Amino acid sequence: MAQEYTTALSLGSTQTGLAATLRAQLYDTAGAAVGALLSGGFTEWGQGAYSWHYAAYPDGFEGTVVFTKSGFPAVPVFVLSLNNADFGITSGADNAAIAAAVWAYASRTLTQAVASAMAAVLGTGLALLRGDTWIENLTGLGNITGRTKLWFTVKTSENDQDSEALIQILEVGGLQRLNGAAATAGQGSIVVTDATTGALTINLAAAATAQLAIASRLYYDVQWLGPNGVLTAAAGRFTVLADVTRSTV
């Protein structure tokens, strides 16, 4: 029985236009190649973000997928490790029990923001819905009393410069960068609601989020400058989710 899986690839903002040249090779846990070099199934989402869908993983596959570019077969651009749990494999009895529980389960009303709910489903740190006003409350970041500067930054790659940031907001100064360019300061803000515990609210206007490309596996952090220098209060993955209605007014 074949298995399928979709992989998110974040190659950096300079790695664009590669969908036709990317290649994938499966390897087992002993490092032996499984099947031939694969060239199809790649989709580019912008800013160096790609996905690869493959629907013919061998049953019970565990191992590694090494991604390269055509012409550079010995230079990996991304490496992915997979095991049975990644494919969601369970026994027939487990599947029957899960199905019965799902059908018998009481309905629930969704009361949280769509982006927050999707972030929980995707297992990512933070997520916003393109074209929506984004308001994110972060708590428990630690004591940031005495700060002289506070940043919130989202990048395609951790190696990108601040000038290349997809989003960068300052507590004093507002939105500084959007898609690697100078931004309208009033479209973003950071408001600290409790400096002692490290609670703050980040706001990004709909007009700004509408300009972002759909992307997963981005990176974000919250940093602050204080008496002991620059410290990171929070960091993790960031996702820009697709909207349907594109109007923001």
Provide the residue type at 193 as one letter: T
Residue 124 has pLDDT above 50, yes or no: no
Return the beta strands (E) in the chain as ranges.
3-10, 22-28, 33-38, 42-46, 49-57, 63-69, 78-82, 126-129, 134-138, 149-155, 167-170, 174-178, 181-182, 188-194, 199-204, 215-226, 229-241
Q: State residue 200's pLDDT score.
A: 94
Q: Which of these, 219, 222, 223, 248, lies nearest to 236 by C-alpha position?
A: 219
Q: Looking at residues 155-168, what average pLDDT do you find? A: 95
Backbone φ and ψ for 211, nearest 5 degrees, come out as -90, -5
Q: Binning pLDDT at 50, 70 and 90, where does residue 111 land?
A: low
75 vs 111, residue with greater confidence: 75
Instruction: Report DSSP state, residue 157.
Output: S
Q: Give me the residue spans of the domains in the chain.
A: 3-104, 114-241
Percentage of the residues of the chain whose pLDDT score is greater than 90: 61
Q: State residue 108's pLDDT score.
A: 56
Token pair of 26, please?
């499966």
Q: State residue 165's pLDDT score.
A: 97
Q: Looking at residues 193-212, what average pLDDT do you find? A: 95
Residue 42 has pLDDT above 80, yes or no: yes
Q: Looking at residues 20-24, what average pLDDT do you find? A: 94
Burial per residue of 196-210, b for 16 or more beta-carbon CB atoms within 10 angstroms, e otherwise: eebbbebbbbbebbe
Token pair of 98, please?
């899960």
Q: Looking at residues 22-28, what average pLDDT do you find? A: 94
Q: Which of these, 85, 74, 59, 60, lies nearest to 25 by C-alpha position?
A: 74
Q: Which of these, 212, 45, 191, lies nearest to 129 by C-alpha position?
A: 212
Residue 190 has pLDDT above 90, yes or no: yes
Class of domain 3-104: mainly beta
Torsion, CA 174, CA 178, CA 181, CA 185, rounded to 10: -20
pTM of the model: 0.54
Residue 132 has pLDDT above 70, yes or no: yes
Q: State residue 47's pLDDT score.
A: 86
Q: Looking at residues 57-68, what average pLDDT do you find? A: 91
CB atoms under 10 Å from CB of 79, counted, come to: 10
Residue 61 has pLDDT above 60, yes or no: yes
Q: State residue 87's pLDDT score.
A: 77
CATH superfamily of 114-241: Immunoglobulins (2.60.40.10)
Residue 93 has pLDDT above 60, yes or no: no
Sign of the torsion angle spanned by Cα atoms 115, 116, 121, 124: positive
3-104 and 114-241 have identical folds:
yes
199 Rama sector, left if φ>0, alpha if ψ -120 to 50, beta otherwise: beta
Q: Looking at residues 85-101, what average pLDDT do you find? A: 65
Percent of the chain as helix, strand, coil, to the nearest 5: 15, 45, 40
Residue 194 has pLDDT above 60, yes or no: yes
- Which pairing describes strands 42-46 and 49-57: parallel, antiparallel, or unpaired? antiparallel
Q: Please give the mean pLDDT across all residues of the chain.
A: 86
Residue 125 has pLDDT above 90, yes or no: no
Q: State residue 121's pLDDT score.
A: 46
123 vs 139, residue with greater confidence: 139
